[in-house]
Structures are given as C-alpha cells and as structure tokens.
Structure 1
Amino acid sequence: MKSLLTFRALFASQSKGFLLALLLSLITLAAGVALLGTSGWFITSAALTTAGLAFNLFVPSSLVRAFSFIRILARYGERLVGHDATLRLLADLRGWLFARLFPRLPLSDRSLRHGDLVSRLTADVDALDTAFLVAIGPVAAAVLIGGSLTGVLAWLLPSAALLYGLCFAAAVLMVPAGLVLISRRAGRDVVTRAADARASVLDGIEGHADLTVFGVLGLAQAGFVDTSKRLSQAKGRLATLTGIAAFGVQALAAIALAGSIYLGLAAFSAGSVDGPVLAGLLLAIMGSFEASNAIVRSVGKLTTSMAAAERLTDIAESPLRVVDPAMPAELPADTTITLTDVTFGYGGPPVLSNLDLTVKPGEHVAIIGPSGIGKSSLLTLLLRLADPQLGTISLGGAPLATLQQSDIHASMALLSQDSPLFNDTIRANLLIAREDADDDALWSALTAAGIADFVRALPGGLDTLIGEGGRTVSTGQARRLCLARVLLSNASILLLDEPTTGLDRTAELAFFETLRVAARGRTVIVVTHAAIPEGTMDRVLTMRNGMLG
C-alpha cells in the first residue's frame, strides 16, 4: 500500500473526475437499493390491499420507473466519467514514470531484462490505473450506502439495524482487508510471473534465429510453457482466495438477511412494522450487498495494482547515475574540451586508464580502434551520462561536474550507431533537434548532409512518412537523415559514435567527406573502427588499453 500511496498526487490531479464517478456510483447503488425496496413495498401492498380501484398505483409505479431510469443513466455516466478520468490518469502515470526514468538511463540494475522493463512500462502502468475504478471507488460508495441503509433500519426496524450494520461492515471492510493481506503474495506472483512470460516471448522473438540454428528452440519453448504454467498457478491461487472471500461475503449477506427476516417477523407480530414496509426493507438489504460483491471481485485487481506500484517505484526511485550540482556554474563560451588523467570502468577492470586529451574549438578529431576498447565510453563521459572514477573532464576550463546537464547537452549533439528514426515524417524527425526550425533551416541541414535531393524527390517531401526505424529508406539515407538532425541542432560540439555502421566503403567515404564540409566551424569527435579517409579529420588518434596514442 505504501508504494501505491506514492502516486496519490497523480490520483489527486484527477480528483474531480473520480469524485464525480464516485457520486454517480453512489447514485447507481442507491437507485438500485431504492428500486428493490420500492418494488417490494409496492407488490406487497398491492397484494394485501382491500381498497380495490381506490389503491394508488400511479405514484409507486412511477417511482419504480424513475429509479430504473436513474440507475441506468447513473451507471452509464459513472462508466463514462470514470474511464475518462482513468485514461487521463494513465497519461499522467506514463509522464511521471518517463520523467523519472530518463535521468536514470541506462539503468544501473543490469539484472533488469529488456522484456521486464517493457512489462513495467506497459502492463504495470495499466494495472495501476485501474486502482480507483475497481477498488477505491466501490469501497467508498458501499460504505455510504451501507451507512445510509443502517440509518433507515434504525428508524423503521431498529432490532435489525445492528445486525445488518455489523454484517455489512464486515462484508465491505473486513473481508476485503483480509483478502488484501492474504493475497498480497499471490498478487505479486501474478505480476512478476506475467512479466517473466512477456520477457520470455520477447527473448524468443529476438533470438529466434539463433535458437533455431543451435537446435534449442524446443528447449526455449519448454521454458516458456513452464513460465506460463507458473503464471497460471499464481492466477489460480489468486482466484481461489477471491472465491473464498466472495463466499464469506455471501455468507454475511445470508446472515444479515435471515436475521433481519427473523427480527422483522417478530417486529411485525408486535405491530411495530407493517408487512409492505418489511418486504421493502428485506429487498433493500439484498440489493445493498450488490456493492460488497463488486468489492471482492475488485480486491484481486487491487493486489496486482499494489505489486505493480512496487515494481514501478523500484525503477523510478533507483539511484541517479549523475546528479546536477546544487549551485551550477555558467556554461563557458569557450568550448575547449580537456580530459586529464581520466579513469573509468563499469565495476570491473577500467576501460579507460589515465587518459589525457585536449580538443580545441572547431577541431575535427577521430578516435579509432577495435570495438569494445572504450571509445563509446569516452563519449558517455563527455555527455556526462556517467562520471569518471578518477580524473577530470572540463569544458572551457569548467569541470563538467559543476555544470548543469541540460547546458552540457545543449552544447553537444550525439549521432550514435543506433540513432533512431521514428515512425513519423521527415520533418518531425528533424525537429527533434530544434523544434523552432523553419523550412529553410530544415532544407539547409538536409543539403549539408547530402540528402536534400533525395527528400525533394519524395512525393510528400518533408512530410513523407519514413516508417518505424526508417524502414522505407536505405541504411545510407537513414544515416544522412540522422546527420541532418545533428547538424540542425545549435550544438557547437558534435559527437559521432560509429556513424558509418552498416555502410559499404563507398558510402563510408562519402559520409566522412560530407561531414568534413557540413561540420566546418564546429568541434567534431568521431569514434569508429573504420579507416578514416585522408584529409577528412584534423587528427586521428588510436585507442589502446584505455589510452590514446
């Protein structure tokens, strides 16, 4: 429950919608109870009357119709308002989660599988956003209905009020609370095992070719079947506990009804209540327990919501890899980059050891060497996505640790080997770098990247959709579009990580030549294992054993 309370501010932001949904839910339940009570009184009175045609049929029949219509309209309104508020809450939840997740990327918990992260970002958020509709709202409405009917019984049938009040309170408060306590583990198992199943599916899809080639596809399938079986068992345990709780509620309803009949007949015999009123009260008691049945069905979902909240807060509150200084320094105008005696590693042997490097403003530097020797780690440090264990990195004489990350990122632009193209238009993909850029700026960047003619030839031009991952363009065209996006930014320092991955040698040579011209006047640092064409870089350094030479 503590983890669920972490999101109380987000729930409060949609309080108007939820309160209106609660009010409509209350009206629905009240109309249902009133409908049964009025119907019972009306039918019994009509059966017992000796007034004949003089008996007033119009008023009670009108009340029955009115309560029916009120119940239908209130139920529809509750669903409409409640789901609208819930969908808005869902958007807020995702915004909250991503706002806290981005500063923590890449996640320091390397045991977190890709599939599990996807599950937390999708299924766990979806589980959390139902907490109000399926649990909190019904409980609040049921308590109000039960309290009101207890008051009515205290007025018309005092002998049954205490029995009903105790049974109803146990049904809507004690039984659900007990179910939450005993089903917490089952709810947690359902969420974690569902995440395991999703992760297994993703692993199987991504590794299908390797699993097939190595002849272990059957083993992977058996593992998934086992995971699914454990998920089914967890759901079965949760369903069993929910069923036991539902039986408890029905037993309490039966006790309340049987006791009220017994006490009501005694009151009828004593003349303190008449028959039609007693019949109406008994049907109203039956109708009121409809709310308690809904609560029990919902509590199972509440336990999974609580488990989902725990999983979300685990990653949302994980330690920040890099923290901004309390009193950040002003970003220097000088863009000289200096690394002094820098050592960096990921918990094991260092990948960078006592590294020194100075890059002057406007200088183009290439760092070459085989994969896995720390070239990308160097760019990670320059962007201050991580801090070195030893040594200092400064920009214009100011240590990066004294600057705001937003200022650092505004002055540097990254083109990585897996820079994405999103499933949107070319225009939208470019505007990520500078959202206020006009068409002239867009075409200028495309021209500098050597791809303007290609874009002009497309039927939609800048508004052409390029598909997920840029699947409608070639690898070389995709790299140039990403380069255009980097060039469009106002960054004075361009960092390129294996920018020619996937290109043949001809396209590779053309890319470096384009970069030489397009990035003139800006600082460029390229890390690559490719051979650098002569004349395209001011300096070419080789990285060996975590050092530059």
Structure 2
Amino acid sequence: QRLSDSASAYQRTTMGVLRLAFLSTATLELFASLSIAMIALYLGLGLLEQLPWDKGQAPVTLTQAFFLLLLAPEFYLPLRQLGNDYHAKQKAEAAATALLEIFNTPTQDTQTASKDDAIQSHLSIVKTQSTSLLTFQALSWQQAGRTRLAPISNHIREGERIWLSGESGVGKSSLLHLLLGFEKGYQGECFVYHEPFSTLDIAQWRGRLAWLPQTPEWVNGNIRQNLLLGIQPPSEQEIQTALEKSQCADFIKALPAGLETKLTELGTGLSGGQMQRLSIARALLSNADVWLLDEPCSGLDEDTANAVLETLNSVSKGKTLLVVSHDTHPISWADRHWNLTHGGLHEQSIQAIA
C-alpha cells in the first residue's frame, strides 16, 4: 500500500510538472511563431505593395525581405529560451531548498541526557577499549515505528578495516548515514574516541571522512575538476600518484583529452569499474583517514568487482575502513567481519567466510 501511494504521489507530481512545462513552452512558442508570422505578413504585403497605409510602395527590396525573415527566428529565440531558463530556475530552487535543510541541521543532539551523564556512560564503555576510534553501545535507529538500524554494540580501532554484511533492510547503509552526521534521533550511544557523537564538531569530523556510495556522484565538468572537487588543490605529482595507486592512470592516458576529458553526472563514457576507481582516487586525494564505503561493487560483474576490491586492499592499508558489502563479494583482506541482522550485530571469522 505504501509503495502504491508513493507511486501515485510521484505520478501526480511528475504530471503536474510536465503539464506546466508543456503549457508554458507552448504559450511562448505561440507568441514567437505569431511574431514571426506578422513579420512575414508585413514583408509579403510590402513586396506586393499592398500595405493599407502605404499602397503602391514597397518598404524593402526582395533581398532585404529574405534577410529579415532569416533574422526573425533568431531575434525571437530568447523568448523560446525563456521557458527552458524558467524550468532551470525552478529546479535550482528545489535543489536549494533541499540543501538548506542539510545546512540548517543542528550540530548538537537534542537528547535530554546531559553531557556529563553521556561522558560517564562512555567511560564505562571505553575503559577496556581505550584505543578505539569508534565505539557503539546499543546504537539503533527507529523512525515512524520502523526499525532503520538494528541495535549494535562494538568498536573500531584506528587503522582497522571492517567488512559489514547482512541482508537488505537491517540498516547497513543507515549506519553509514549516521556516521556521516546527516541523521538524528538515533537511540543508544556512539563515541569518537572519548567524545559523544552528538557533541562533535561535525564539520571537523567530516573533514576526516571519505564517502564512497554505491553510485559515485559526479558533476558536469572534466575528470580533473571532479577529482579535485571540495579539496585543497594537490600538486600534479600527487594527482598522478593517486591515479597510479587507484589504477586509473592507464585508462585516463588512453582517453583523447586525458584528465581534461568531459564527464557528465552519469559518468558517460566510463565503465562502472572505472568510475569506482576514480572515486577511490578522489578519496586518496582527500587525505581522509576514515573511509566509509557502501556497496563499492554494486552493479559490477565478478571480475571487475574483484579488481576493484584488490585496488581497495592495496590503497586502504593504514586507513580506518567500514565497508558495506554483501556475501556475494566477500572481503577476505578485512581485519574483522561484522554480520548485521534484525537481532543485532554478530562478529564472524574472516577465514570461515573466505
């Protein structure tokens, strides 16, 4: 029923947008066409010397009339373009509204528990795990009566690489979203070293993170611009080193324009494996020490997935990794394997899975 309601709402919204788009475009096209037709009528009557107010005389020659008719569509082109610009403005406003919700997200958690109580609770958790970078204590997330994340209790040490698996819907991706700081209202506790997650300087924490989603995000521009988006510009040598480590150097050299090759939001012209390797290169250039990866092999064939995982193995040594991946793409080089179920988090042997 929820899926049906969602699809119906999406259909109504889409058709409403299309109705407005077609009506506005048709209106502007009508005015432009009528304007050009009026010019053609004026020139035609003028050449026939039949203008009501100037009979027996032609205001222009035949050559001039043809020239003006050729210019008329170009003259009214901005009127046609107005419709496209208006819809682009509407899209930008919608995107800005969504971004403002993120920018206005409070960085302080609104839980009623005091900071001192949280610290005391935390000290009881981490005194046996003093080297932990992340500590989870009964961390869960419920929203509108639905469990988004099953309760988990564990810790991640600095430089440790964790493979998180589990069936769909238990909250693997939700855990990553919580760690990115985009979600609030979770239950339980999460700590970074000795500090509760709710009191962190979220901007400083995100500066330590590299986020590799299932489908890498790109912007219209060239490969170089996408690699350097949002980071301090590195040297050419650092760029080349990152490309070589991520195994991007060879296929980029084969492109006609190299790093200046144009890239669309969908990564047109590159394969899934190449796009994932580019996202790894981008993570390397960010100098982040904590990597969060959500299904890096999603949509890749087995050989390409294995090649991407091998690349990750070689470049992520010394980094703290939490990588979500199904059992169909086992990560044998991980230090620990967590299996998340609706009943909670269970640690499994890497050797047994491999």
TM range (shorter): 0.5 to 0.7
Residues 482 and 115 from structure 1, CA distance in 2 versus in 1: closer, same or farther, beyond 3 angstroms?
A: farther
Is 1:503 matched up with 2:286?
no
Query: Who is 1:324 aligned against?
Result: 107
Match of 1:90 in 2: none
Question: What one-letter code is carried by the residue in structure 2 that aligns with 1:419?
Answer: P
What is the letter of the counterpart of residue 502 of structure 1? G
- 1-side partners of 2:222 and 2:275: how far apart? 13
2-side partners of 1:490 and 1:335: how far apart?
A: 20
- TM-superposition CA deviations, 1:518-539 (whole Å, max 9, x none): 0111001101224344632111
Per the alignment, residue 168 of structure 2 pairs with: 371
1:42-64 per-residue CA deviation (whole Å, 9 max, x = no partner) reads xxxxxxxxxxxxxxxxxxxxxxx
Q: Which residue number corresponds to residue 486 of structure 1?
A: 283
Deviation of 1:440 after TM superposition, in Å, equals 1.3
Alignment of structure 1 residues 462-541 onto 2, 5 Å: 462-533=259-330, 535-541=332-338
2:16 is equivalent to residue 197 of structure 1: yes
Could you tell me which of 378, 389, 413 is aligned with 2:210?
A: 413
Q: CA deviation at 1:513?
A: 1.3
**Equivalent residue runs for 1:169-248 within 5 Å:** 197-198=16-17, 201=18
Cα distance in 2 between the residues matched to 1:389 and 1:353: 11
Distance 2:283 2:333 in 1: 18
> 1:423, 1:465 within 8 Å by CA — same for their partners in 2?
yes
Residue 461 of structure 1 pairs with residue 252 of structure 2: no
Contact 1:414 1:496 in 2 (8 A): yes
Q: Does the 8 Å contact 2:212/2:293 carry over to 1? A: yes
Residue matched to 1:438: 235
Structure having the larger proportion of residues in strand? 2
Deviation at 1:389, TM superposition (A): 2.7
The Cα RMSD (Å) is: 3.4
Shift of 1:499: 0.6
Q: Secondary structure at the match of 2:146?
A: coil
Whole-Å separation in 2 of the counterparts to 1:341 and 1:322:
24
- Distance in 2 between the 1:428 and 1:535 partners? 34
Assess if the C-alpha contact under 8 Å between 2:170 and 2:340 holds in 1.
yes
TM-fit CA distance, 1:421:
2.5
Residue 429 (structure 1) aligned to one of 226, 231, 235: 226
What TM-score comes out, normalization by structure 1 length? 0.42
Residues 1:463 and 1:370: Cα distance change in structure 2 (over 3 Å): same
Between Structure 1 and Structure 2, which shows a larger proportion of helix residues?
1
Shift of 1:483: 1.4
Task: State the Cα distance separating 1:417 from its structure 2 match.
Answer: 0.5
Q: Is contact 1:455-1:462 (8 Å) kept?
A: yes
* C-alpha separation in 1, matches of 2:108 and 2:158: 25
Query: Corresponding residue for 1:358?
Result: 155
Q: Is the 8 A contact 1:340 1:357 kept in 2?
A: yes
Where do 1:137-156 residues align within 5 Å?
A: none
TM-score (norm 2): 0.63
**1:380 is matched by which residue type in structure 2?**
H
Kept in 2, the 8 Å contact 1:321–1:385? The answer is no
Q: Kindly indicate whether the alpha-carbon contact (under 8 Å) linking 2:191 and 2:197 is maintained by their aligned counterparts in 1.
A: yes
Cα deviation, residue 390, structure 1: 1.3
Tell me: CA distance 1:336–1:114, structure 2 relative to 1, closer, same or farther (3 Å): farther
**Is the 8 Å Cα contact of residues 309 and 331 (structure 2) preserved in structure 1?**
no
In the alignment, structure 1 segments of 5+ residues that lack a partner are 1-109, 117-192, 202-223, 236-307, 329-333
Cα 1:115/1:482, change in 2 over 3 Å:
farther
User: How many angstroms apart in 2 are the aligned matches of 1:489 and 1:314?
Assistant: 28
Residues 114 and 384 of structure 1: is their aligned pair in 2 closer, same or farther, counting only changes over 3 Å? farther
Q: 1:428 is matched by which residue type in structure 2?
A: Q
Larger Rg: 1
Q: Which amino acid in the other structure matches residue 107 of structure 2? A: D
Deviation of 1:544 (Å): 0.7
> 2:240 aligned with 1:447, yes or no?
no
Deviation per CA, 1:246-272: give whole Å up to 9, x if none.
xxxxxxxxxxxxxxxxxxxxxxxxxxx
Q: Counterparts of 1:386 and 1:440 in 2: how far apart (Å)? A: 38
Give the partner amino acid of 2:16: A
- From the superposition, tell whether residues 390 and 321 of structure 1 become closer, same or farther in structure 2 (CA, over 3 Å): farther
Distance 1:483 1:317, change over 3 A: closer
1-side partners of 2:167 and 2:285: how far apart?
A: 30
Q: State the alpha-carbon separation in 2 of the partners of residues 387 and 403 from structure 1.
A: 13
Matched-pair identity in %: 31
Cα distance in structure 2, aligned partners of 1:407 and 1:528: 27
For the Cα contact (< 8 Å) 1:342–1:354, is it kept in 2? yes
Pair 197,375 (structure 1): closer, same or farther in 2 beyond 3 Å: same
Structure 2 runs not aligned, ≥5 long = 1-5, 28-89, 110-114, 116-130, 347-354
Equivalent pair of 1:509/1:533 in contact (CA under 8 Å): no
C-alpha distance in structure 1 between counterparts of 2:262 and 2:343, whole Å: 42
**Structure 1 residues 457 and 356, CA gap change in structure 2 (3 angstroms):** same
**Amino acid of the structure 1 residue aligned with 2:153:** D
Q: Alpha carbons of 1:502 and 1:457: their partners in 2 closer, same or farther (altered >3 Å)?
A: same
Cα offset, 1:457, TM superposition: 2.3
| CA–CA distance in structure 2, aligned partners of residues 318 and 365 of structure 1 | 31
Q: 1:348 aligns with which of 145, 150, 159?
A: 145
Contact kept in structure 1, 2:150 and 2:340, CA below 8 Å: no
Contact 2:102 2:182 in 1 (8 A): no
| CA displacement at 1:114 relative to structure 2 | 7.4
State the 1:477 CA deviation. 0.6
How big is each residue's C-alpha offset from its partner over 1:459-490, in whole Å with a ceiling of 9 and x where there is no partner? 22221223341111111111111111112112
Residue 336 (structure 1) shift: 0.6
Match of 1:396 in 2: 193
Tell me which residue corresponds to 1:81: none
Identify if the C-alpha distance between structure 1 residues 361 and 388 changes in structure 2 by more than 3 Å, giving closer, same or farther.
farther
